[in-house]
Amino acid sequence: MERIRRLVLTLAALALAAGALAQTDVSVWFHSGKGPERDALAAQVEAFNGSQNTYRVVAEQLPEGTYNDQVQAAALSNDLPCLLDFDGPFIYNYAWSGFLRPIDAYVSDGLRADVLPSILDQGTYAGQLYSLGTFDSGLGLYANRRYLEAAGVRIPTGIDDAWTAEEFDDALARLTALPEVEYALDLKFNYGQGEWFTYGFSPILQSAGADLIDRDGYQNAEPLTSPEAIAAMERFQGWFENGWATNAPAGDVDFHERQIAALSWVGHWQYNPHAEALGEDLLILPLPDFGTGSKTGMGSWNWGITTSCDVPDGAWAFLEFLMQPDEILRMTDANGAVPARFSAIEMSELYGEGAPLELFAEQLNTIAVPRPQTPAYPVITDAFAEVIANIAGGADVATQLQQARQRIEQDIEDNRGYPTD
Amino acid sequence: MARRAAWTHALYYLLMTLLAGFFLFPVVIMLVSSLKPDDALIMRHMSSGLAFVPTEVSLQNYRDVFDNVAFLKALRNSVLIVGSIVVIGLFVNSLIAYGLARFRFRGRGLLVSVVIALIIIPFESIAVPLLLIVNRFGWLDTLYVQAIPFIADAFSIFLFYQFFIQVPRDLEEAAVVDGASRFRIYWSVVLPLSRPIIATVTILLFLRHWGQLLWPVMVARSVEVRPLTVAMQQFFGQQPREWGQIMAFAAMITIPVLIVYLLFNRWFVQSIASSGVKG
């Protein structure tokens, strides 16, 4: 009897070992963001590896500050992993450069229908889907109800009811006049010149009827110098000239801790500190309507399968695992971002119906504008961020926009229009 | 007269103290901020004199660094990489320089000129071709790929060369008469006389490679071979920044630099005074 028991145990151990040996490795890179996000992804890798015997995810966390540089270097040396995550600004350039493979064939109709349109827009380049994110970002206005009421400013009730540009200017003037308020609008200039400026402030252009580039073919940046763009950016400059906003805030806490600003133009990531400091006085509002309706930004980290990957099915198996509603919530509970699927949003305590950040999910489903889906985006964002920094400092708006347009069009010309063939 | 001298002396010390304070400001802010556990507090104090005052003292940021980053592993990697570059580099570069300074051969002058010309080529301009080369060797994601390309260094060769041509030949000729080989002369006569330039090259190589970011970013992927500069990039991503941890990390990677400088300080100053090197 004992002999048989040993034999069975030995055979079971051998079978397990054989199973482990038969597993195919799938290399995965991801940015090591803040602690909870990093821990959530590490737990997901472990859960995936424990859930099946076909693939084994071998994950490497790379520091976020130099993540894109490391990806670029790895692409140069043909050393990319099978699956990697990357921030929104880089996807189109990666797709155009041939680092990524389309994933349309893997995405079922059911999954596609359940994913936020912003996630699909972000992942689409030249008509093909190259990436999926498990979460998206929300951008809007946080407001201090106490100050709005003291200044007699109307409180918008939803996207269709957003402040008009004139109303917004009037609100900024009244709020700045309050004795507790040093300046009405915190635009997070402490984040510094970079992607924030484009992500945060290009919705002004788009709401005014302008844009960063002509999206029909992505061959010129004419909309950037249109009368609408100039007027919108002159209005933006006026906020600084009138003392309603500052381009040199002392820190990150003027709206919530110090409460010397009445409004904060920022993303979902500031919800927790704002809610802790303001409690019931915290309001979350859509960005103002500058002419063609309120608009907002979108996009965050997303996943793509590389062309050099020799086990794309394995890479997709892991990505599909990450896209399950429970796994999406595991991640968004950790990083506070907007869940990528409607079914996950429904279960979310932050973004579900009646939840405090419901507006952000609604915006992503209705008014969010994707980043220009062109490989020229890194140049576009760099040029526009410089425009924002300079006009906030008092530079001539039309001249700045013209210079940015020239730089963008020069880049497109240098790359022969970024042909897709 | 004595009173005037005393005043001049006092003024001199006052000026020097102010200058020292000016240069110490960033270090003090770094150390003080690293002890404040609240990031919002650090940001608020940053625009006032309170940035220099440890209003709260806590080692929490240091604990968080150890929790969030494999700091000791990165420190070990940096020490191994930079230590290899410095130790092997001292030997290799001084040997090359000695050869150029002492041997007479056709093309020697051209070779010296080429070495000097190499100094002005920025690393950034050769980084990509170098990446492709080391990739063909299969060296990516290793510790040695971060050291080997920097062992032979044109500037170090130039510094040694400049020093060696000033060393009196008489000493070496006496050794030749005693039957010493060329290598023996280099090792037992020339190198012991070269402590100031060795100290200078050590400090310059150490400083340059301790803070090296571009190359490790290009070639180091895994945490096993990641040096401190890349490990620190973990804190530079999403807003809001965790300034307390950034300052604690920065404080901990600054300390080895100060130790190396203090160890070689005397010879370094001596070498600068004699050769006019401006690192």
Decide whether A2-137+299-366 matches A139-297+376-414 in CATH topology.
yes
Q: Where in chain B is the domain with CATH 1.10.3720.10?
A: 67-275
For residue A225, the 8-state DSSP code is G
Which residue matches tokens 């004795």? Answer: A179
Task: Name the more confident of A173 and B4.
Answer: A173
What's the fold here for domain A2-137+299-366? D-Maltodextrin-Binding Protein; domain 2 (3.40.190)
Residues of A with Cβ-Cβ distance to B212 under 8 angstroms: none
Q: Which spans in A295-341 are helix H?
A: 312-322, 325-335
Question: Residue A257 and residue B240: Cβ atoms within 8 Å?
Answer: no
Q: Which residues of A touch B245 (CB under 8 A)?
A: none
How close does chain B come to A186, measured CA to CA in Å? 14
- Nearest 5°: the CA angle A363, A366, A370 is 80
The CATH number of the structural domain formed by A139-297+376-414 is 3.40.190.10
The closest alpha carbon to B98, from B153, B150, B152, B165, belongs to B165
On chain B, the residues whose CB falls within 8 A of the CB of A85 are none
Cis peptide upstream of residue A356 (ω within 30 degrees of 0) = no
Q: Do A74 and B221 touch (CB under 8 A)?
A: yes
Q: Please give the Cα distance from A298 to A139 (Å, whole number).
A: 7
List of chain B residues whose C-beta atoms are within 8 Å of the C-beta of residue A260 = none
Q: What is the pLDDT of residue A421?
A: 73
For chain A, 421 residues long, the average pLDDT of each consecutive 10-residue run is 60 53 88 83 95 95 89 89 92 93 96 96 95 96 97 96 97 97 95 93 97 96 97 97 92 89 96 94 97 96 96 97 97 94 96 95 96 95 97 96 97 94 73
Contact: A65, B232; criterion CB under 8 Å:
yes
- Kindly identify which residue of chain B lies nearest to residue A63, measuring between CA atoms: B234
- Compare CB distances from A251 to B44, B128, B232 and report the shortest one's residue: B44
Query: Of the given ranges (A134-143, A275-284, B58-67, B235-244), which has the lowest mean pLDDT?
Result: B235-244
Q: With beta carbons under 8 A apart, name residues in chain B contacting A77.
A: 131-132, 135, 140
B131/A33 touch (CB, cutoff 8 Å), yes or no: no
Q: Which distant-in-sequence residues (6+ apart) come within 8 Å of B140 by Cβ?
A: A77, A79, B134, B219, B221
Residue of B nearest to A66 (CA): B233
Tell whether B50 lies on the interface with A, counting CB pairs under 8 A. no
In this prediction, residue B274 carries a pLDDT of: 59
- Residue extents of the structural domains in chain A: 2-137+299-366, 139-297+376-414
Residues β-bridged to residue A304: A84
Residue B265: name the closest of B210, B202, B208 by CA.
B202
- CB of B167 within 8 A of CB of B193? yes
**Are residues B40 and A196, on separate chains, in Cβ contact within 8 Å?**
no
From residue A262, give the alpha-carbon distance in Å to each of A278, A372, A393, B83, B150: 11, 31, 22, 54, 54
Residue B249: pLDDT above 60? yes
Mutation target among A66, A260, A265 for the B interface, most CBs of B within 10 A: A66
Band of residue B278 on the pLDDT scale cut at 50, 70, 90: very low
Instruction: Count contacts between A and B (CB, < 8 Å).
Output: 89
Which of A252, A255, A256, A274 best tests the B interface by mutation, with the highest count of B CBs <10 A?
A252
pLDDT higher at A272 or B264: A272
Strand A135-136 with A338-339, pairing? antiparallel
- Considering only CB atoms, B128 lies closest to which of A61, A76, A188, namely A76
- Highest mean pLDDT, choosing among A282-291, B8-17, B50-59, B233-242: A282-291
Report the range of poorest mean pLDDT among A140-149, A369-378, B41-50, B177-186: B41-50
The whole-number pLDDT of residue B114 equals 94
- Minimum distance, in Å, between the CA of residue A3 and any CA atom of chain B: 45
Residue A6: its pLDDT value, please?
A: 67
Residues in chain B closer than 8 A to A63 (CB atoms): 226, 230-234, 236-237
Structure tokens at A387: 């425009």
- Cα(A37)–Cα(B234) distance, integer angstroms: 13
Chain B residues with CB under 8 Å of A79 CB are: 135, 140, 221
The pLDDT score that the predictor gives to residue A184 is: 97
CA of A1 vs chain B CAs: smallest distance (Å): 48
Q: Is residue B74's pLDDT more than 90?
A: yes
Residue type, A406: Q
Confidence band (pLDDT; 50, 70, 90) for B279?
very low
Q: Which residues of A touch B242 (CB under 8 A)?
A: 34
Report domain B67-275's class: mainly alpha
Q: Do A62 and B44 touch (CB under 8 A)?
A: no
Bridge-based pairing of strands A302-305 and A83-86 is: antiparallel
In angstroms, the separation between the Cα of residue A65 and the nearest Cα of chain B is 4
Instruction: Report CA-CA distances (Å) from A412 to A369, A374, A386, A402, A407.
Output: 21, 10, 18, 15, 9
In sequence order, the 6+-apart residues with CB closer than 8 A to the CB of B107 are: none
A144: helix, coil or strand? Answer: strand
